[in-house]
């Protein structure tokens, strides 16, 4: 026979407290005395009570769920972000419901997500149409584009200063004495790639230098490896390569050393972007631009909390500072 369901009323009776005290005990952030919490938890453990979050959401009309849409997790930057975002939202009393999507019609996945009554949406390595973003806003559901933006979209965005990061790399490589400086791009139409490349060209121009050559890696290991082979077919091959993210930069370094028998950084300097944990590994020791991941997550959660349930959701754009982290994959200026 099935075990009888234990209710909050049963716990309240056993703990000699009100039913509302039981409810507050199991509500993150709710006010309840230490003695009441102790008695309720002891009674709940003894009776085998587990609160029903779904039932509570039906009563309150609040799911406590934030939907997160991710197109890919190959880039080590995004698993780090997902962990930080989940922990930050949990501390605020929310839970993350993650959806994976291809690079096609991501509006379909967002529509599926909305069926779970999510209170906010974060798009990481993904985007949605302006019309669906506006419908979300009209319904009081804020949408935050993480690590990218769409100028024509009503969705809010949180990015690092990709323009400045690229500019710093351009200055750094010229100051290091490099003359044939190339770029390996990510997705051509992504805001992150456009801004990093534009900043890079600006940094080179400030030193009176132009980009030697360019290839597209499309933010994949395979694409970056082939882009490297293409760039280094010429006898006048690059003496430095700026790669649009660390994920691709690792592939670039592997091809340079294992296939082309070139030394990094003596023959070729390599600089990435993101500063993922693997950048510190001795095998790569990658010079890169640090994205302030913790501050970016904090800004994302702040926008969500400020706008959830609001009648007039307006577009916000947070741009956070970057900095160049110098390690051993690139030659330094001799001056």
Looking at residue 129, its pLDDT comes to 72
Looking at residue 52, its pLDDT comes to 64
Q: Residue 254: what are its φ and ψ, rounded to 5°?
A: -65, -45
Give the model's confidence band at 100: pLDDT under 50 very low, under 70 low, under 90 confident, else very high: confident
Higher pLDDT, 108 or 81: 81
Looking at residue 28, its pLDDT comes to 63
Higher pLDDT, 1 or 256: 256
CATH of 1-48, one of 1.10.260, 1.10.10, 3.40.190, 1.10.1410: 1.10.260
Q: Indicate the CATH number for domain 64-160+292-320.
A: 3.40.50.2300
- Bridge partners of residue 65, in order along the sequence: 95
Is the confidence at residue 202, as pLDDT, over 70?
yes
Name which CATH class applies to 162-291.
Answer: alpha beta
Q: What is the mean pLDDT of residues 158-178?
A: 97
Looking at residue 61, its pLDDT comes to 55
Higher pLDDT, 31 or 238: 238
Chain centroid, CA 231 distance in Å: 29
H or E, element range at 285: none
Tens of pLDDT along 213-253? Answer: 999 999 999 999 999 999 999 889 999 999 999 999 999 99
Largest CA distance in the chain: 84
Looking at residue 299, its pLDDT comes to 97
Tens of pLDDT along 292-309? Answer: 999 999 999 999 999 986
Give the model's confidence band at 108: pLDDT under 50 very low, under 70 low, under 90 confident, else very high: confident
* 64-160+292-320 and 162-291 agree in CATH topology: yes
Q: Let me know: does 63 contact 86? Beta carbons within 8 Å.
A: no
The counts of H helices and E strands in the chain are 12, 12
Is the confidence at residue 102, as pLDDT, over 80?
no
Looking at residue 321, its pLDDT comes to 98
Query: How many of the other CB atoms lie within 10 Å of CB of 19?
Result: 14
Looking at residue 47, its pLDDT comes to 85
Is the confidence at residue 128, as pLDDT, over 80?
no
Is the confidence at residue 21, as pLDDT, over 80?
yes
Domain boundaries, the chain: 1-48, 64-160+292-320, 162-291
Question: 142-156 in b/e burial notation, b at 16+ Cβ within 10 A?
Answer: bbbbbbbbbeebbbb
Give the model's confidence band at 2: pLDDT under 50 very low, under 70 low, under 90 confident, else very high: low
Is the confidence at residue 180, as pLDDT, over 80?
yes
Looking at residue 139, its pLDDT comes to 78
Residue 289, C-beta contacts closer than 8 angstroms, at least 6 positions apart: 165, 166, 168, 169, 271, 272, 273, 274, 275, 322, 323, 324, 325
The C-alpha atoms of residue 289 and residue 145 are separated, in whole angstroms, by 21
Is the confidence at residue 1, as pLDDT, over 60?
no
The C-alpha atoms of residue 57 and residue 88 are separated, in whole angstroms, by 21
pLDDT, mean over the chain: 89
3-class secondary structure, 185: strand
Which two tokens mark 228? 């490297």
Give the whole-number percent of the chain exceeding pLDDT 70.
92
Which is nearest to 143 in space by CA: 297, 304, 299? 304
- Bridge partners of residue 40, in order along the sequence: none
Most confident residue range from 18-32, 87-101, 293-307:
293-307
């Amino acid at each position: 026979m099935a075990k009888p369901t234990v209710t909050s009323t049963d716990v309240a009776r056993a703990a000699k407290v009100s039913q509302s005290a039981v409810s507050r005990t199991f509500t993150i952030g709710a006010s309840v005395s230490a003695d009441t919490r102790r008695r309720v938890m002891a009674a709940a453990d003894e009776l085998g009570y587990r609160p029903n979050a779904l039932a509570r959401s039906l009563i309150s009309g609040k799911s406590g769920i934030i939907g997160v849409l991710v197109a890919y997790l190959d880039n080590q930057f995004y698993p780090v972000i997902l962990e930080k975002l989940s922990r930050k939202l949990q501390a605020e009393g929310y839970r993350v419901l993650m959806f994976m999507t291809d690079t096609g019609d991501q509006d379909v996945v967002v529509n599926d997500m909305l069926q779970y009554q999510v209170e906010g949406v974060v798009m990481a390595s993904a985007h949605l149409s302006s019309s669906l973003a506006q419908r979300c806003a009209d319904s009081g559901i804020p949408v935050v584009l993480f690590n990218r933006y769409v100028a024509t979209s009503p969705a809010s965005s949180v990015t690092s200063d990709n323009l400045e990061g690229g500019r710093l790399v351009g200055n750094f490589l010229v100051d290091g004495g490099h003359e044939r400086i190339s770029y390996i791009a990510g997705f051509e139409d992504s805001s992150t790639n456009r801004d990093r490349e534009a900043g890079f060209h600006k940094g080179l121009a400030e030193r009176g230098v132009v980009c030697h050559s360019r290839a597209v890696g499309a933010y994949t290991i395979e694409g970056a490896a082939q882009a490297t082979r293409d760039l280094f077919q010429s006898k006048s091959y690059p003496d430095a390569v700026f790669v649009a993210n660390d994920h691709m930069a690792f592939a670039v370094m592997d091809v340079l050393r294992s296939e082309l028998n070139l030394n990094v950084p003596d023959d070729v300097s390599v600089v990435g972007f993101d500063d993922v944990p693997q950048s510190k590994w001795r095998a790569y020791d990658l010079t890169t631009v640090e994205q302030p991941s913790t501050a970016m997550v904090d800004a994302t959660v702040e926008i969500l909390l400020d706008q959830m349930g609001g009648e007039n959701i307006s577009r916000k754009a947070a741009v956070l500072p970057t900095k160049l982290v110098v390690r051993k994959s690139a030659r330094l200026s001799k001056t």
